[in-house]
Structure 1
Amino acid sequence: MNALSQLKISTRLAILVIAMGVLLMVIGGTGLYGMAQSDAAVEEGYKDSTVQVAKISNIKYLMIRNRLMIANAVIEQSPQSAELAGTEVRASINQIDGIWADYMSGLMTAEETTIARTYEEKRKQFVQDGLLPALTTLKANDFDGTRNVVVEKIRPLFDDALAAAVALEKFQLKEAKQRFETDSARYHTIQAISFTMIVIGLLFAVVFGYGLVRSITAALQQAIKVTQSVAQGDLTQGVEATGRDEISDLMRAVSAMQASLVKVVAHVRQGSESVATASAEIAQGNNDLSSRTESQASALEQTAASMEELS
């Protein structure tokens, strides 16, 4: 409280308001930063994981569809099914090429690049050594030859390419999990910082506010006590004013007023004593005058009596 009394009340209030404002800005800024980071993390997760996984899933679907289209043509063994399979498979190959080019245009880590290159090589073998030879035999309506290509080439090459695609998909899921764990850790860190700042702010407000109220009320109570004593005629109460705030200025003014009243009372007392002395002297003079008057009256009476005897 002594330290606070060295500051003006307006300064103390300004410190409290500024400190709470700074804490509010820090807490609010931390919250805004956390929300911005969360939004960026969601966007990054969508672009780098969700979209990429969707592309891989679409590629897997088209690969399976290509294999099924050729198998269906072998089962039906008709020129129409062979022609349809050729058209659909070639369209799917081109579609996969477009999806894959879009996938590879994104930013990738060294590990992802290695896995992607492995899939790219496996799929190239699947297309060059499996799908295209099968389409050639289908175009010639050589269904037995197509069956041999399916069994000897398409099936093993498809399994290898699909396994590489699954590995790439698992990598994306692993990256998404790591990103989630990082974002979760950031969230808990920001939460802890925000909670700590809130606790610090509350403690500061309580402690500083309590000290502020106590310093003001204690000084005011002392001022009230002194003024009540003065009002009752007691000018002996000591006034202590050691601070530099407005209350201390008030106490010093009260002390000066009390000292001035003491001087006034002393002067009045001296005047009263002087008046009492003068009154006593006047009374003594009156007594002397009365005695002389009585003596003169007695002398006059004696003179009158003597005159009567002479006459």
Structure 2
Amino acid sequence: MGIHISIKNRLRLLSASAVLGIAVLAVVTFMANKMSSKALQDLYEDHTLSIVHMQKLESTLQEVRFRVAGVLLEQLPLQGSLNHLKEARAILAEESKAALPVFAQIFVSTESAAEFQALQSNWSKVDELLGKIEKNYVANDNKLLSSVLEEEWPVLHKNVIKHLQALIPVAQKQAEQTYLSNRQSVQRWATIGEIFGLFALISVVLVAYQTIRAITRPITHAQTALVQMAAGELNNPIDAQQQDEIGVMMRDLEALRISLVKVVSNVRHGSESVATASSE
């Protein structure tokens, strides 16, 4: 038993398919944009900022060492280096306060966690050493300043700066992996959107084709039947099996044909009766 759908319901189905397709595409696009925004935010907050913090810490420490060497070589002014050191201590304190908690969350692998633990456990030595350098700047004691640079700074480099430098490429690699993973997620949603969009398009095309076919074919048959009836050919039954508005029209035409057949038959019978009576 076939499924009969009226023209009105076919048009409703066509509209519903189009609306559903648009709605699905809108939802998928929204989800893809949301995931893309979150991915960029996570990449920026968890990785890009971490790399910036680490590079800032490392470059600030290197600048301090460079200026100490410049003062000892009498290439840089003492007062300017002292002012720079005070600014550097403030920058390092601010950057480390913001960065170290984030580092604890992103450096969780065995190797990177060990590097971070070593960095964190020795970080307090940074300000201690910078405090000594500041005192020597104030005392203008190049001998002690030279001792700090030659003996204590290599220890700081080994215990702090080296670990910091080792973590920078790790953070860069993690940022790249996060980017690739998030890009795959966004591409997955885009693929889902394309599939649903294609499905919606095919559904709309099929419903539209069936609707057009359900309208045009019966109308063509009705036109043929009307031409035959106008030519006096009333013996060809009209197919009226379609269960929709067009089917109703075709059944009305079939009823009209049957009525015309009866009228013609009655007229013919009356004519024959008149002819018989006349001959008698």
TM score, norm. by length of structure 1? 0.78
Shift of 1:74: 2.4
CA RMSD of aligned residues (A): 2.7
Larger radius of gyration between Structure 1 and Structure 2:
1
Change (3 A) 1:267 1:182: same
CA distance in 1, matches of 2:117, 2:126: 14
Residues 50 and 103, structure 2, Cα contact 8 Å, conserved in 1? no
Shift of 1:237: 0.3
Moved more, 61-70 or 207-216: 207-216
Change (3 A) 1:233 1:84: closer
In structure 1, stretches of 5+ residues that fail to align are 282-311
Please, which of 82, 99, 103 is the counterpart of residue 103 of structure 1? 99
CA distance in 1, matches of 2:35, 2:52: 24
Structure number with higher relative contact order (C-alpha < 8 Å, ≥ 6 residues apart): 2
Shift of 1:248: 0.9
CA distance in 1, matches of 2:192, 2:35: 15
Residues 8 and 244, structure 1, Cα contact 8 Å, conserved in 2? yes
CA distance in 2, matches of 1:166, 1:66: 16
CA distance in 2, matches of 1:16, 1:203: 11
In structure 2, stretches of 5+ residues that fail to align are none
Q: Which residue number corresponds to residue 217 of structure 2?
A: 218
Matches within 5 A, 1:1-311: 3=2, 6-76=4-74, 81=78, 84-104=80-100, 106=102, 109=105, 111=107, 114=113, 115-128=115-128, 130-281=129-280
Shift of 1:98: 1.3
Q: Which amino acid aligns with 1:13?
A: L
CA distance in 2, matches of 1:217, 1:86: 92
CA distance in 2, matches of 1:41, 1:72: 44
**Cα shift readout 1:240-265 (whole Å, capped 9, x = no counterpart):** 22221111111111111111111112
**Cα shift readout 1:72-91 (whole Å, capped 9, x = no counterpart):** 2222399x72x554443243
Residues 126 and 158, structure 1, Cα contact 8 Å, conserved in 2? no
Q: Which amino acid aligns with 2:16?
A: I
CA distance in 2, matches of 1:262, 1:101: 101
Change (3 A) 1:13 1:86: same
**Cα shift readout 1:148-196 (whole Å, capped 9, x = no counterpart):** 2221111231243122222332333223212211221023212222222
CA distance in 2, matches of 1:190, 1:211: 31
Q: Which residue number corresponds to residue 301 of structure 1?
A: none
Provide the secondary structure at the position in 2 that maps to 1:242: coil
Shift of 1:132: 3.1
Q: Which amino acid aligns with 1:109?
A: Q
Residues 77 and 143, structure 1, Cα contact 8 Å, conserved in 2? no
Shift of 1:3: 4.8
Residues 89 and 130, structure 2, Cα contact 8 Å, conserved in 1? no
Change (3 A) 1:143 1:36: same
Q: How many residues align?
A: 276
Moved more, 226-235 or 97-106: 97-106
